[in-house]
Amino acid sequence: MPASPETGSLPLAAPPAAEVSSLARAGRDDRDDRAADATAADREPRRRGLGFTLAGVATTLMLAGASAPSPFYPELEARLGIGALGVTIAFAIYAVVLLAALLTAGSISDHVGRRPVIAIGFVVLTGAVLLLWHAESGGMLYLARAVQGAASGVLVSTLSASIQDFAPTRNRHRATLVNALAPGIGLAGGTVASGILLENVADAASWTFGPIAVIYLALAAAIWLVPETSRREPGWQRSLAPRAAVPAAARRIFVVSVPVVLAGWATGGLFFSLGPTIVRTELGVDGILGDALVVALLPASGAVAGFALRNRRPIVPAVYGAAALAVGTALMIVALTTASLPIYLVAVIVAGTGFGTAFMGTIGSLVPLAAPHERAELFASLYIAAYLSFGIPAVVAGLLTGMLGLHTTVLAYAVVVALAAGVAAVLRARAGTGRSAADAVGAVAA
């Protein structure tokens, strides 16, 4: 090729058209990749926010479904001929099977992922709701409650861990608040909603359990819209061996918190199993809706108190909760002795504030001491303690009611809970806080 006369050098050849086109495409692809990365980065916080909301709503609705059968129990007792003992057995089967599920599969989402466990759990829960809807015998009712307990046991620890996983990094206490308030809101909402339907709708069972089944299927599908948060630790087969474990850093606080949890959930077990019968036979409250509203006061007041104390150090709601349980159950003794409905309502509200805040304080004390991959296992252990005290005392109360009568049984139950709650308040106050929450969160983040 001849040299250029102006420069004396070889002329620059124009790049081939194909090369220009390839470079242009590469530039566009690079810009598209950067735009896609930016879009994904913008979308991720929104998906995590959706996950936090969805996990909280799912927990609330799961527990609403658990309490929805409560107003139906007097009618089921008469229609199925199962008696007061049969009602407490139906109530306790749910708690016992839930405990078995927690012991075996409570931490499985740490190994296989949160989303598949939640999806399968809500599908199984839908089947339980359909069985409840069409129960025509005591055996069918017990089967429905057993299936409901199995699904709930797997779901409760997984959803609680998901709430912690999705919590905003700079606002972790929101997860503690949601985990503490969801039981109260769900239990109260399910009881009141089904009570309203029983009072005002001819086919109340269809209007109660049909929509719940549809909602549960929708939740099973919706969970796939949010990101997976579990690290999927190896060894899921070993995790199915029955066991209850607490992370080493959380064990001391767990031990001193267990009496608080026992007192709170034993109170809840009494109200949800025998509450409708108490307000009817002992206090003369007439009507299904009245029963439901009185029973719902306990978790509702707990939710309000939990929200009011949401910004306090965890030890404050824990100690207050135990003390309020002691005072509330003592007031219940006075109310039943004098057959006073107003005093009984005050007792339920006071005990309810303890029910909500004691559990919130316990969660707030423990969760910062567990690493992310230990959360489902920690919540499984916590709910094992909770549901042991929720179900077993209720069964004992049902047995004693047949021998001693409702009045004597409830008074004895209240005395035991009041003493236990008072002791729990003292033990928890003396134990202190352990590591500060800030230090614990920093250790977990590291």
Residue-wise pLDDT tens digits, 178-191: 887 887 788 888 98
* Of residues 168 and 272, more confidently modeled: 168
371: amino acid identity, one letter: A
Asked if residue 14 is part of any domain, the answer here is no
pLDDT of residue 445: 32
pLDDT of residue 126: 97
Number of domains within the chain: 1
Asked if residue 212 is part of any domain, the answer here is yes
Asked if residue 26 is part of any domain, the answer here is no
* Of residues 272 and 221, more confidently modeled: 221
Asked if residue 28 is part of any domain, the answer here is no
Asked if residue 300 is part of any domain, the answer here is yes
Q: What CATH number does residue 106 fall under?
A: 1.20.1250.20
249: amino acid identity, one letter: A
Asked if residue 79 is part of any domain, the answer here is yes
**Do 82 and 220 contact (CB within 8 A), yes or no?**
no
Residue-wise pLDDT tens digits, 277-310: 788 888 887 777 777 777 788 888 988 898 888 8
pLDDT of residue 144: 94
pLDDT of residue 346: 93
Average pLDDT over residues 234-246: 69
Q: Which domain range does residue 51 map to?
A: 47-228+247-445
Asked if residue 38 is part of any domain, the answer here is no
Q: Please say if the pLDDT value at position 440 is more than 60.
A: no
Contacts 24+ apart (CB under 8 A), 196-204: 196/289, 196/292, 198/71, 198/72, 198/75, 198/288, 198/289, 198/292, 199/287, 199/288, 199/289, 200/289, 204/72
pLDDT of residue 231: 76
pLDDT of residue 19: 54
Asked if residue 161 is part of any domain, the answer here is yes
Least confident range from 128-142, 305-319, 424-438: namely 424-438
Residue-wise pLDDT tens digits, 303-354: 889 888 888 888 899 999 999 999 999 999 999 899 898 999 999 999 999 9
pLDDT of residue 323: 93
**Do 176 and 363 contact (CB within 8 A), yes or no?**
yes
pLDDT of residue 437: 35
What are the helix (H) ranges across 282-405? 288-308, 315-338, 341-366, 375-404
**Do 385 and 362 contact (CB within 8 A), yes or no?**
no
Q: Please say if the pLDDT value at position 40 is more than 60.
A: no
pLDDT of residue 37: 41
pTM exceeding the 0.85 threshold for the entire prediction = no
For residue 446, give every residue at least 6 positions away whose Cβ sits within 8 Å of its Cβ, in sequence order, or none: none
